[in-house]
Structure formats: C-alpha cells, structure tokens
Amino acid sequence: MAGETQKVIVLTGASGGIGQALAREYAGPGIYFALIARDEARLEALLKEICELGADGEISAIDIRDREALHGYLSDLDARHPVDLVIANAGVTAGLGPNRTRETNADSDRQIDVNYRGVVNTLMGLVDNMQKRRQGQLVLISSLAGMRALPDMPSYSATKAALIAYGHSLRGWLKPFGISVTIICPGFITSPMSARHNGAKPFEMPASKAAALMRRAIDRRKPFYAFPFLLAWGIRLQNLLPTKIGDLFMGGFDVTIDQDPRYRENSDR
C-alpha cells in the first residue's frame, strides 16, 4: 500500500453511477477499497482515479449472485485487510412489460437475486469475522421505493422493502457485537440507472451530492436515513393515511423502464 491504511471499505456495484460517486467521495489517504462489480474495465478506471486522489485498493469482477465466489474473495480480502465498512450498493431495476403487462420472469428473478440475495451474500461474507473482532459497519442501500412501493415497479419495490426489514433485523442482532448497521433510502439520483426511468423523478439530484449525503449518514452511523427530506417525509405521512386515500397519491408516478443493456438473456414470461 502507498501509505498507512486507516479504513478498509468494501463497495459493491462500484462500476455504476452511485457506486463511482461513493468511491470518489471516500477516496483519500488512508482509505483502502475493495471495489466489486461485473465490469472489470470500469473498475480498473475507477481504481486508477481513486488512487490519484490518494486512496489505495483492489478490484474484483465478481457477480454478487455467485455466493461461493464472492465469499471466497471476501474471506481472502479480510485475511489480508480486515474490513471496517461494507457498503452493499449493487442493484438493478426493471418494471412492467409493454402496455402494463406483468414483469418478465427473468426481470423479477434478477432483481430478487441481485437486490436482495446479492446484498445478503455480501454482508454474510464478512459478518462472522466482524463479530469476532467486535467491530465493523454494514450499510444497505435501499430506496424510497422500499418505503412506498411503486405500482409500475413491483419486484424492485419489494426487494428494496426487504432490505429495510433485513437491515433492521441485522441491527438488533449485531449491536451487542459492536457492529453498526445503516439503512439508506435515496430518492431519484442521476445515473445510468435513472436514465432508463421514463417518468416523473421529483427532486432528482446529482450522484455526487447524493454520495456526500450518504457519507454523512454513514460516518454518523445513523440507523436509517432517507432523502431527499421533503419526498421522504411525504412518503412517511402518506403511509399514515388510510390505504385507499394513500393510493390516490401514486397516480403521478407512472413509469416505464427501458431494458437494462447489461442483461441480454431471453426473457421467459
């Protein structure tokens, strides 16, 4: 390493817009990154960039759906560089089919496997050693859609809601072991993912600004952080209304999601 390491950070989904912004936000002397995503070329470019900012690190082109490969890598990493912070950021999105037909089986399965199982795979690959050291921090990147489901994005909303429940459970389990858990629910953030979102995106913000807000919540070890403030509180208030009334407010969030170019498999309905 170029200098003394003060913090080791595992970041999944590091090749995406939010992942890259988080890496840049944390990059600096004393930071060692383990950047994980499927796109090796983009990871290499990001690693070069953060090293120029004074950080150090390594990359691993692993699909977080592959539990065996991921756990093998994380075990080796933690033996070499004990991990302080895990940011489970990787995620994918999809929506209903043409003319509001149902989601394809492939789209639904992929979101469940990446957004939920992939996060579980990531965190459980490191939690045993963190328990033994009695220190560490786990961060789950959920979504405002996990707080209030979007009618046109059922599987995405469900997986993000699952992360919220999972994170709350982890926090209660791991607190006695000195491990903190932070759940983050961002709204619309400018990124390649949001560019495929064809619909209203109220209070959309640049990824760099979102990363700064996320870092502040992470550094303060907040149990739960949802933003932007107005949209998050609007959702909280909406959830207090009778269901029939609350549902009336969702009409303005109709959306279609363009196909994710990273996934080309045939879609079995």
Q: Which residues pair with 34 in a beta bridge?
A: 10, 58
Domains and CATH numbers, the chain: 7-257 (3.40.50.720)
Out of 34-38, 120-124, 238-242, pick the least confident.
238-242
**Nearest alpha carbon to residue 108 among 253, 221, 263:** 263
Least confidently predicted of 52-56, 136-140, 202-206, 232-236: 202-206
Strand 7-12, strand 136-141: pairing: unpaired
- What sign has the CA pseudo-torsion 169, 36, 222, 241? negative
Catalytic residue among 26, 156, 166, 225: 156
Residue 91 above 50 pLDDT?
yes
Check if 156 is active-site. yes
pLDDT of residue 269: 40
Q: Alpha-carbon distance 104 to 125, whole Å?
A: 30
